[in-house]
Amino acid sequence: MASPSVKAALVLATLGNVGAVEVNANPIRKVVNLLQNMQKKITEEGNKKQEMYDKYMCYCENADSTLGKSISDAETKIPQVESSIKEGAALKKQLEAELKEAQVSRVEAKDAIAKAEALRAKEAKAYAKVKSDAESNIGALDKAIPAIEKGMGGAFLQTNSAAVLREISLNADMIPADRDILASFLSEGQNYAPKSGEIVGILKTLHDEMTKDFADATAAENSAIASSESLVAAKKKEIEANTKAIESKTARVGELGVKIAQEENDLEDTKEGLAEDKKFLANLGSNCELKKKEWAAYKDMQAQEAVAIADTIKILNSDDALELFKKTLPGAASSLMQVSVSSNSVRKNALKILKAHKKADPRLDLIEMAMHGNKNGFGKIIKMIDNLVTELKAEQANDADKKSYCEAEFDKAEDKKKELDLDISDLEKAIEDGKESITALASEIAALTDGIKALDKSVAEATEERKAEHDDYVDNLAQNNAAKDILAFAKNRLNKFYNPKMYVAPPAREVELVQTHGAPPPPPEANLAYKKSGEKSNGVLSMIDSLVADIDKENQAAEVDEKDAQHDYETFMEDSAEKRALDSKAITDKEGAKAETESEVQTNTEDKKSKTIEAMETAKYLGGLHEECDWLLANFDARKAARSGEIDALGKAKAVLSGADYSLVQTATSKQLRGAQ
């Protein structure tokens, strides 16, 4: 578009060619008004430019201190942030080492507890056996000593406590002589009645020693329990302390990692900002000087234009000019009537054609003003028409190009928007499906984990139960065998008396002679002839045989039960191990699937965010296209038709001015005017 100064020059040039105006309008006043409006616009535009320049100069004046402070702050900040990052990395490394040490210490403490508990269980089991044996032995001695002291040794030998006493005679720690005396007593009973006092002494000594040993074992057991409990309590406190340390240090390591990452980002941003500030500061002086030169040139051109317009207005409003216009304008028609008859007709016909297609276009107004002149030269007007036609065609071509561009961009942007909306919808569905899958997998993993814990608990319980059952089986078998031994011993002893031929004598043993301090007194005389109870003894022997048979059956049944229980336990353990392996593998697979799904959800979430931003930008771009193109697309046909009418009118006007048939043109124009009405 032409600048105000160019417009003013064009108006003045036109006025030089157009010598006359319509009688009812004052062309000089119109020109003056136009020039005054131009003055106003120049002043307004100058004020806006002045405001822009003042702001830029204010920035130039303050930029040194502002940018200098920004650069100084950045240069101070960078080494501080670098030092902080270095310190954070060193602290993070130290915390990671301490975290690892705490984890190792916790594992060692747990191992120590497990070993202590295992040792305690072993010691408790050993003590339980010692206690059982001691209580059994001391109980047997408690019964034997009074019985022997009362002369009831023979009756005592028939009791279960006598069997325990025999075990003591074989296993107890005593001198061989005492062992032989005790063994002889247990074997022959009443034959050792004269030595019952010595036997009682031996048994009391054993009783005292066993009581003391049992008390010592009990004290040792209590001490071991206290020591184990103290160790376990200390290790549990250590585990608790290490657990707290692990939690605390893990959190601190994570926080430091985030802080270091943030500081690294801050450091990078600060360095980039510093480089930009330095670059801008380096170019600040030249940029400000360039703006000063541009502003000086602008002010100079503005002043020149203002002077030109002011001078023109002054000339047109001068008394001499007004007087001249009064003299020349009214008389021009009469003085030039004969000369300009043809020219006036041409102008009028051309004006009719232009007015028939006139729209609010100042360029047509300018041509109409030119054709109101009374001079005969149409060369400049024809040239103006040619230029205007060229401009109109160029404008139409620009509109057509813009229309094609707008339509193509609308199609492209709308397709892209639809595609992005579809992608966002698909990503939202994928994210929702992923979250559901993660929840389901987490639930399945928790169920499998709980199942493994329950299975481990069942395995531990089954192991403890199997161990207890086996211990019971071993104890029962030992007791049954001991009972069989006692019954066999009893039967053999009865056979010695009742059935000497069936008696099995014990293997000969070397007996250590013990020198006594004087022979015992002779036994008192007594008639002790005895009549054997043959029939009763046979019943007793039969009962013993029956008991032994029952014990054998019980042992066989127990052995079968033990084998079945062991087989069931081994089958259970194999099945449990297989199930645990399968469940553990399933947990690993599901955790992998869960991690992969979480990664996919994260990726889809980021993609959705990116797509959403892209969709918003596309929608924003579409909005801009609508602002840019809607008016053109809505008015394209009307603008094209209007331009075509203008070009046609300008062509006809040019033809008229160039000497075409006036009457034909007038007739056509009249028809067009009537049609327009």
Residue 3 φ/ψ, nearest 5 degrees = -75, 165
Helices H / strands E in the chain, number of each:
12, 0
Instruction: Return the structure tokens found at 433.
Output: 């499906």
Of 197 and 263, the structure prediction assigns the larger pLDDT to 263
Higher pLDDT, 519 or 179: 179
How far is residue 619's CA from residue 349's CA, in Å, rounded to a whole number?
53
**Range 645-664 average pLDDT:** 70
Q: Burial code of 157-193, b = ≥16 C-beta within 10 A, e = fewer?
A: beeebbbbbbbbbeebebeeebbbbbbbbbbebeebb
Q: How confident is the model at residue 605, as a pLDDT?
A: 92
Place of tokens 């690993």: 588
Residue 215 has pLDDT above 60, yes or no: yes
179 vs 112, higher pLDDT: 112
> Residues 153, 185: contact at Cβ < 8 Å?
yes
Q: Quick one: which H or E segment has residue 46?
A: helix 27-149
Segment of 39-53, 140-154, 213-227 carrying the highest mean pLDDT: 213-227
13-27, 145-159, 229-243: range with lowest mean pLDDT = 13-27
Burial state string for 218-247 with b = 16 or more CB within 10 A and e = fewer than 16? eeebeebeeebeebbeebeebbeebeebbe
Of 381, 281, 364, nearest to 65 (Cα)?
281
Is the pLDDT reported for residue 509 higher than 70? no
If you average pLDDT over every residue of the chain, what do you get? 75
Across 187-203, average pLDDT: 62
Q: 326 versus 444: which is more confidently predicted?
A: 444
Task: Check: CB of residue 373 under 8 Å from CB of residue 17.
Answer: yes
* Whether residue 1 has pLDDT greater than 70: no
Q: Indicate left, alpha or beta for 153 from its phi (over 0: left) and psi (-120 to 50: alpha).
A: alpha
Give pLDDT tens digits for 454-499.
888 888 888 888 888 888 888 787 777 777 777 776 667 667 666 7
Taking only the tens place, the pLDDT of each residue in 56-84 is: 788 777 777 777 888 888 889 899 999 99
Give the distance, in angstroms, between the CA of residue 392 and the centroid of all CA atoms in the same chain. 63
CA distance 322 to 326: 6
Average pLDDT estimate for 323-341: 43
Which residues have a Cβ under 8 Å from the Cβ of 458 and sit 6 or more positions away? 576
Q: 151 vs 273, which has greater pLDDT?
A: 273
Please tell me the distance from the alpha carbon of residue 521 to that of residue 195, in angstroms, as a whole number.
12
pLDDT at site 670: 45
Lowest mean pLDDT among 26-40, 129-143, 431-445, 602-616: 26-40
Least confident of 143-157, 378-392, 617-631: 143-157
DSSP per position, 70-125: HHHHHHHHHHHHHHHHHHHHHHHHHHHHHHHHHHHHHHHHHHHHHHHHHHHHHHHH
Asked if 325 and 28 count as a contact pair (C-beta separation under 8 A), the reply is: yes
Q: Give residue 497's pLDDT.
A: 61
Residue 79's pLDDT is what? Answer: 93
Q: Tell me, what's the pLDDT at 352? A: 67
Q: Does position 187 have pLDDT exceeding 80, yes or no?
A: no
Q: Which pLDDT belongs to residue 667?
A: 45
Angle at 31 between CA 27 and CA 32, to 5 degrees: 115
Looking at residue 222, its pLDDT comes to: 92
Burial environment of residue 402 by CB neighbours within 10 A (0 to 12, 13 to 18, 19 or more):
middle
Q: Report pLDDT digits (tens) over 576-616.
A: 888 888 988 889 888 888 888 888 899 999 998 988 998 89
Banded model confidence at residue 409, pLDDT cuts 50, 70, 90:
confident
Structure tokens at 79: 């080494």
pTM (2 decimals)? 0.34
Please give the Cα distance from 597 to 66 (Å, whole number): 50
Max avg pLDDT among 158-172, 274-288, 303-317, 403-417: 403-417
Per-residue pLDDT tens over the stretch 278-322: 887 777 778 788 888 888 888 888 888 777 777 777 776 777 666
> Residue 194 has what DSSP assignment?
G
Which among 668, 18, 22, 35 is positioned nearest to 317, based on CA atoms?
35
Average pLDDT score over residue span 443-448: 90
pLDDT over threshold 50, residue 33: yes
- Can you give the pLDDT at residue 10? 39
pLDDT at 431: 92
Looking at per-residue pLDDT, the higher value among 24 and 446 belongs to 446
pLDDT digits (tens, 9 = 90+) for 348-377: 666 666 666 555 566 666 666 566 654 445
Give CA–CA dist 558/188, Å, rounded: 35
Consecutive H or E run containing 322: helix 319-335
d(C-alpha 549, C-alpha 544), whole Å: 9
Other residues' Cβ atoms within 10 Å of the Cβ of residue 342: 11
CA–CA gap between residue 392 and residue 56 (Å, rounded): 39
CB 379 within 8 A of CB 390: no
Of 176-180, 239-243, 539-543, 637-641, least confident by mean pLDDT is 539-543
Residue 2: pLDDT over 50 = no
